[in-house]
């Protein structure tokens, strides 16, 4: 049975999750890919926030706390009334954010990261330290996932390009699986280790 999580998510709710648990996520979350993560690190986490970016920084500090970042480059339709709609919202490969993710989680109080392919030791350590999880979304099901996006609330840094912008979205029963938890467990590490073991056996044979 899936665990229902609603933003803002508490640390206790995250600590109760274990790898393999199914999750249905609801609430307001943000998309963020390579450009967005580098921007947050350079301007907010490790750099001095420029005066021109202070308002956006305060918004992220408030709204990412207890929320989730979705590694997604959506296909977006803009309607005549100016409203946006996600046509496809499949996950993108998360490993590109490995250099940044743990620092972003710690600085902004992010409780969940959503993507595909998993992440590595730095992010896993950050999840354990700060009380966060990695949620694996269903690759190849972009239109299906888009049905979970009930509203595009806003968009920031659209000058980064549609896939790289910060899209603020409201999701309802977004389906995910915990593949990295806050207790140091990672299904991705286990799968990699088993694959390497099998490869050595095949090569030896």
Q: Whats the size of the chain, residue-wise?
A: 205
Per 3-state DSSP, the chain is made up of helix, strand and coil in percentages (nearest 5) of: 40, 30, 30
pLDDT of residue 195: 47
SS3 71: coil
Q: How far apart are CA 69 and CA 32, in angstroms?
A: 6
Contact predicate 92/114, CB 8 Å: no
Spatial CA neighbour of 72 closest among 125, 34, 21, 15: 34
The pair phi, psi for residue 165, each rounded to 5°, is -70, 165
pLDDT of residue 17: 98
The pair phi, psi for residue 58, each rounded to 5°, is -65, -35
With b for 16 or more beta-carbon neighbours within 10 A and e for fewer, the 176-190 pattern comes to bbbbbbbeebbbbbe
pLDDT of residue 173: 94
pLDDT of residue 203: 62
Q: How far apart are CA 3 and CA 150, in angstroms?
A: 20
Please give the torsion angle defined by the CA atoms of residues 171, 54, 76 and 175, in that order, rounded to the nearest 10 degrees: -20
Q: How far apart are CA 86 and CA 63, in angstroms?
A: 20
Active site residues per annotation: 37
Q: Look at the pTM and tell me if it is higher than 0.95.
A: no
CATH number (domain holding residue 36)? 3.20.130.10
- The partner residues of 85 in beta bridges, in order of sequence, read 77
pLDDT of residue 189: 73
List the domain range (segments joined by +) for residue 195. Answer: 3-204
pLDDT of residue 196: 55
Low-confidence stretches of the chain (pLDDT beneath 50): 195, 199
Spatial CA neighbour of 30 closest among 51, 14, 53, 7: 7
Q: Domain tally for the chain? A: 1
Q: For 14-56, write each residue's pLDDT tens digit.
A: 999 999 999 999 999 999 999 999 999 999 999 899 999 999 9
């Amino acid at each position: 049975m899936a665990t229902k999580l609603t933003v803002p998510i508490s640390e206790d709710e995250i600590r109760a999750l274990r790898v393999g648990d199914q999750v249905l996520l609801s609430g307001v979350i943000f998309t963020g890919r390579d450009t967005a993560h580098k921007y947050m690190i350079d301007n907010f986490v490790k750099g001095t926030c420029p005066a021109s970016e202070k308002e956006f920084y305060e918004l992220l500090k408030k709204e990412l706390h207890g929320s989730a970042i979705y590694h997604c480059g959506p296909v977006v339709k803009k309607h005549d009334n100016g409203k946006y709609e996600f046509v496809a919202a499949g996950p993108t490969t998360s490993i590109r954010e490995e250099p940044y993710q743990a620092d972003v989680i710690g600085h902004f109080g992010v409780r969940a990261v959503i993507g595909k392919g998993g992440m590595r030791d730095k992010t896993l350590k950050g999840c354990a330290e700060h009380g966060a999880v990695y949620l694996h979304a269903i690759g190849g099901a972009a239109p299906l996932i888009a049905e979970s996006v009930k509203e595009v609330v806003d968009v920031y840094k659209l000058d980064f390009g549609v896939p790289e912008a910060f899209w603020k979205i409201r999701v309802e029963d977004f389906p995910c699986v915990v593949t990295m938890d806050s207790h140091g467990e990672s299904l991705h590490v286990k799968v990699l280790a088993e694959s390497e073991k099998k490869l050595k056996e095949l090569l030896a044979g």
